[in-house]
Structure 1
Amino acid sequence: MRDHPASDPSVTLQKILAALQARLTGTALPPEEATRICREIQALTAAYTPEAERPIQTIEGLQCGVAVYQAVDEGRDFVFLGFNAAAERLDGLPRSQVLGRRLREVFPGVEQFGLLEVLQRVWRTGQPEDHPITHYQDERLLAWRENHVYRLPGGEVVAVYSDATRRRQAEESLSKYAALLQDLRDVVLLVRHRDGRLLEANDAALAAYGYTYDELLARTIFDLRPADGESLIRAQLDKARDNGVLFEAEHRRKDGSTFPVEISSHAVTVGGEVCLLSVVRDISQRRRMREQIETLAGSLQQERDVLNAIMENTDTHLAYLDAGFHFVHVNSAYVRGSGHRREELIGRHHFELFPDAENQAIFEKVRDTGEPIRFTEKPFAFPDQPERGTTWWDWTLIPVKDDRGRLQGLAFSLQDVTRRKLAEEVIKASLKEKETLLKEIHHRVKNNLQIISALLGLQSQNLRGTDAANVLRESQSRVKSIALVHERLYRSHDLASIRMQDYLLKLLQGLFHTYGAHNRGITLSADISGIELDIDTAMPLGLIVNEITSNALKHAFPEGREGQIAVALSRGESGGLCLAMRDDGVGIPEGMDFERSDTLGLQLVATLTRQLGGTLEVRHGGGTEISLTLPAEKNP
């Protein structure tokens, strides 16, 4: 084996190991160390015999894994001759379980890994090869490995390898982060701290500033912020290096235009250099929104001030409660009316301060149904203020909802109407007293008129059969008609009007009795329902009915003639009043003028008709029909 043709193995190995050490660990192998290792490998090669166990101390000092193989089965497989401590650590196997065993047996995934084929080529050709970072996997081991394979002068094959798992994972992570940074809509800049030079930028930065990649990296952070002084920028760079920083600034584009940005920056170390990783966000839209919000907030504040001014200058008690009935806001009128200080109200539960089961049920109903409710003159007694007695309130409770219809709170408005209520009760009592007094007056007037009527009746009896007796009887009837009005009034619940049906029926029945009409076969038909008139209309209308009915009973049915008298009182479509009186007797003479009549009764009818502003019409034929029409404005 010493005759194996090769160049100086010491030199060759020195070069190989120096290169491998530098590539695998990033640290160059000192020349004297490489020479020492080469000499030991040469000594191993010179001393090799198939029967002797080969010591492998040479490879123990290396930080990377080293495995020495002997080809078997004409190079179809390899047997481990050496396996250093670094290899034990990297592969998780003690060398006692590796040395002397076949490669396929120890690492069953070596073919798929591709290393077996490299070992075979190097063994055959003697030319070193690199097996780049490749993923190895079997049931025991999952890792990334980078191998460098060469052949020793004695024919052994050496694989020097390192674990590239962390590096591979880091590369993948860096690749993901790089892709992420490129996909970010925000600008990402890597800035060198000592001079502000831009070292890296993502695509968003190129789009934001309008520069090409090379143009942007030829600039500093000071070029992007010309409006800010260098001392300010330098202070911010230092602050970002020390603790990280978040601030707003103005950045300038390539075309000279500026835009507002928010910058988040913190320190990173790249190649031993302190740099700042800065995320720059365009806040133009945010600033516009902020300005709009500030404008809106100003408008809302103005509206709130106006609303507060209105609330504080009204006598209405106003309160806003949350959905749990806790006071959120109250105006000064509510504070005064409640008997509590404002700070005693805000945040407190309404029904802790003003317990009332009925009112609480009302509040719960409004909260649950979402429907407002209103009350007039609702009584309430303050439990903690008994000296106030019963108070009366007009109040409204309105649910306040958001734009989705969800309940936010309750608006509560109250008006203290206690004084009004007490004043109304005083007025009602006074009116009741006056009403009683007025009824008493009507009663006494009616009594006095009845006395006069009785006196006229007694006087007429002394003059029976004479014209004077008839005159007295007619006067008595008239007095009774007036007295009957006063009787209706003092018996009525309403002193302002008289139910004409009751009044006229009683008047007509009295006349029929006085003249013995029923015994003479004369009947009465009356249609007067639903009419109510005041005393100023009812009394003259009653006198008119009295005179016309008395005249018919005296003259329309002579010598035992039977017949009927019909009386109807109704309202026309225009609201006017129509009195129609008809009899089927002998009829009054043609051409009779009530104004020029020589009888007091007919003259009285004409006079009262004028007083009422009405018109009188007389029709003949089959008896007599007299119609009195009153315009609407003359009869309430």
Structure 2
Amino acid sequence: METEVYRALQECWQSLEELHQQVNGSPAEANRTTLQGTTRQLRANLARLEGLLQAPEIGAQSFQSLVTPSNAASEASVGSPDGVQEASLLQRCYQTLGLPLEEISRKSLRQEGSNTDREERQRIEQELAHSRRLLEKIADTSPQMLYIVDLESFANIYVNRQVEEMLGFTAAEVQQQGAQFFGNLIHPEDLAVAEPHLQRLLHSRDGEAFDLEYRARHADGSWRWLQSREVVFGRNAQGEPTQILGMAIDINHRKRIETALRESEARFRSTSEQSAVGICHCDPAGRFLWVNPALCQLLGYTESELLALNFQSITHPADLPRAGADLSGLTWQQPACSLEKRYLRKNGEAVWGQVTLSVVHDDSGNPCYITGIVQDINLWKQAEAELRASLREKDLLLAEVHHRVKNNLQIISSLLELQVNRIQDSVAQEALLSSQNRVIAMGLIHETLYQSGNLSQIEFAQYVRQLVAGLFRIYGTDTALQLSLAVDETFCIPSDLAISLGLILNELVTNALKHGFSRIPMGTLVIGLSCPTPGAYCLIVSHPGDRLPPAFDLERSSSMGLKLVRLLAQRIHGYVTVERGQQTTFKVQFCLPQSSPIRPLR
């Protein structure tokens, strides 16, 4: 496009020169037809130039939109005795031809003969003046910097107004500096490319344009990147170039973007090449498009070998269905996923990797490629397997410990039972029987733990049923009494808490069976565990009626069982209260730290 603009400028210039020569030289009668043809050609050339400069890639505006107050002032000065303004494009044209527009008008009028149409002459003069103004406006309002360089003096003989916007110099300042302007303009480091560029121009054909990117010094001392396209604009009789026409645009912003892109690319390259994790790009089908050295090292392939493969060929067959589903599941709504899978190295060895996949879409939402980040977790997996094995051994050991503790407690319980059967003192028998019940309650916890397979917690509801059923059998009330259990079936309690709660429950249920149902061995025993507020719990044991002494004081009670209940409640950060009436209810309220809450079974 720029080449066509240069050619159109040259054609306009040539038409102006021909029109001047015809008006200035030949007899009027012989010139009339020629003048009309040249005028039409000039008008066509100007229209073509205006059309080129209106193209989007040139960025010029229409001629009508370019008429501003400043341009109007320029038009008013066209008829001045000096001919044209100092910095106008046509100034050099008419100075080269030797006559200003007014002189052409006067000579054309003097040449008017008896057969010359005066009106035709005036119309041609108006066409010439209009063409001159149009060329001036096109040049001065062009978004590009236009300039003409004289090769003999290396001085700038014309430059449009864009030089001030791009470089901070006025057109007059540029022309005053003469040949020194170009010496001070180009960055010293860019002179090495400017000299070959000039040589190509000097040996170029007509219409052949050349591009050059260089840094130019701004009036404030800073450097601005420019891109110029230059073409030979004039030649002497021997065909040697005498003038160069150039068009320059400011590419400083583009250069900053290019620099930022190069720096970003360098950072990416450095990050990917020095990264300890594998990074790859693959297409939506899984074929590798790019891989970094760490991934090659992890899998034992060279870069070229990996680029000939896809992710399916290096994935362990057992992990392929899940990995393929995760890859195909990447969408605009779910652009990333993470999974652990085994890769197959070149030697056939399986290696574990933690891979994170993310899909990159274009502006239309279509997937372009998938980025994968692969971290070697083989050592993690080995350590995890060793830890699981160690935990299994620990669980087996703990199960054996609980089993042996339960057996030892069973032996103690049996010894106490033998002792009860051998003595006749009822008070001693009652004391030994209570001790036996406590041993049974503790043994039941250890039995529940090693039988459940979960050595850290027990299901509280199941434990309560087993404990109460055993006490019912001991006191012979298993057929007459009913148990109402208000405990969430999913509640699990830590094993250390279970022993304290089990002993508390044993004492309270034993008291209820011995005293609450002593006269009427029928009814319902209520046991509940609730959580009124987070971290706070309440265990209740309730039976119908009130069998406590009228002056009963829980804090001063001499009962060994109730003393044990208060002691155990304090151990779990709680306290015991009693409510009397139609129901006698013992409440044990306690708190637990957040690290060991009663929680649903999982």
Same fold (TM over 0.5): yes
- Contact conserved, 1:265 with 1:276, CA < 8 A, in 2? no
Question: Who is 1:429 aligned against?
Answer: 389
Question: Who is 2:291 aligned against?
Answer: 330
- Contact conserved, 2:273 with 2:294, CA < 8 A, in 1? yes
- Length-normalised TM-score, structure 1: 0.60
Question: Who is 1:607 aligned against?
Answer: 567
1:393 aligns with 2:353: yes
The 1:403–1:431 alpha-carbon spacing in structure 2 relative to 1, beyond 3 Å, is same
Bigger relative contact order, structure 1 or 2, given CA contacts below 8 A and separation 6+? 2
Question: Who is 1:246 aligned against?
Answer: 210
For structure 2, the residue ranges without an aligned partner over 5 or more in a row are 1-29, 59-87, 100-130, 141-147, 158-177, 184-194, 217-223, 598-602
Alignment of 1:333-344 (within 5 A): 333-344=294-305
The 1:405–1:491 alpha-carbon spacing in structure 2 relative to 1, beyond 3 Å, is same
Give the superposition deviation at 1:551. 1.8
The 1:498–1:353 alpha-carbon spacing in structure 2 relative to 1, beyond 3 Å, is closer
Question: Who is 2:458 aligned against?
Answer: 498
Q: 2:156 aligns with which of 184, 201, 224?
A: 224
1:282 aligns with 2:247: yes
- Contact conserved, 1:566 with 1:582, CA < 8 A, in 2? yes
Post-superposition Cα deviations, 1:83-129, rounded to whole Å, max 9, x if no partner, equal: xxxxxxxxxxxxxxxxxxxxxxxxxxxxxxxxxxxxxxxxxxxxxxx
Partners in 2 of 1:392 and 1:308 — Cα distance? Answer: 26
The 1:616–1:250 alpha-carbon spacing in structure 2 relative to 1, beyond 3 Å, is closer
- Secondary structure (helix, strand or coil) at the match of 1:604 reads helix
Q: 1:306 aligns with which of 243, 252, 267?
A: 267
Partners in 2 of 1:613 and 1:368 — Cα distance? Answer: 53
- Contact conserved, 2:573 with 2:592, CA < 8 A, in 1? no
Q: 2:136 aligns with which of 164, 187, 206?
A: 206
Greater CA deviation, 441-450 or 323-332? Answer: 323-332
- Contact conserved, 1:321 with 1:329, CA < 8 A, in 2? yes
Question: Who is 1:180 aligned against?
Answer: 48
The 1:341–1:538 alpha-carbon spacing in structure 2 relative to 1, beyond 3 Å, is same
Q: Residue 380 of structure 1 aligns to which amino acid in structure 2?
A: Y
Structure with larger Rg? 1
Alignment of 1:43-82 (within 5 A): none
Partners in 2 of 1:518 and 1:367 — Cα distance? Answer: 62
Give the superposition deviation at 1:449. 1.0
Give the superposition deviation at 1:474. 1.5
- Contact conserved, 1:260 with 1:282, CA < 8 A, in 2? no
- Secondary structure (helix, strand or coil) at the match of 1:517 reads coil
Partners in 2 of 1:326 and 1:199 — Cα distance? Answer: 72
Partners in 1 of 2:138 and 2:321 — Cα distance? Answer: 67
The 1:220–1:502 alpha-carbon spacing in structure 2 relative to 1, beyond 3 Å, is closer
Greater CA deviation, 348-357 or 611-620? Answer: 348-357
Question: Who is 1:125 aligned against?
Answer: none
- Secondary structure (helix, strand or coil) at the match of 1:567 reads strand
1:523 aligns with 2:479: no
Give the superposition deviation at 1:473. 1.6
1:375 aligns with 2:305: no
Give the superposition deviation at 1:203. 6.3
Q: 1:460 aligns with which of 417, 420, 434?
A: 420
Q: Residue 260 of structure 2 aligns to which amino acid in structure 1?
A: S
Question: Who is 1:265 aligned against?
Answer: 231
Question: Who is 2:277 aligned against?
Answer: 316
Question: Who is 1:631 aligned against?
Answer: 591
Alignment of 1:542-553 (within 5 A): 542-553=502-513
- Contact conserved, 2:416 with 2:433, CA < 8 A, in 1? yes
Partners in 1 of 2:97 and 2:343 — Cα distance? Answer: 77
Question: Who is 2:403 aligned against?
Answer: 443
The 1:234–1:282 alpha-carbon spacing in structure 2 relative to 1, beyond 3 Å, is closer
Partners in 2 of 1:234 and 1:315 — Cα distance? Answer: 51
- Secondary structure (helix, strand or coil) at the match of 1:451 reads helix
Query: What's the RMSD between the two structures over aligned residues?
Result: 4.6
Alignment of 1:79-90 (within 5 A): none
- Secondary structure (helix, strand or coil) at the match of 1:224 reads strand
The 1:594–1:184 alpha-carbon spacing in structure 2 relative to 1, beyond 3 Å, is closer
Question: Who is 2:128 aligned against?
Answer: none
Give the superposition deviation at 1:579. 1.0
Post-superposition Cα deviations, 1:612-633, rounded to whole Å, max 9, x if no partner, equal: 2211112222352211100233
Question: Who is 2:145 aligned against?
Answer: none
For structure 1, the residue ranges without an aligned partner over 5 or more in a row are 1-129, 134-163, 211-217, 252-257
Give the superposition deviation at 1:607. 1.8
The percentage of counterpart residues that share the same residue type is 27
Give the superposition deviation at 1:401. 2.3
The 1:174–1:595 alpha-carbon spacing in structure 2 relative to 1, beyond 3 Å, is closer
- Contact conserved, 1:449 with 1:480, CA < 8 A, in 2? yes
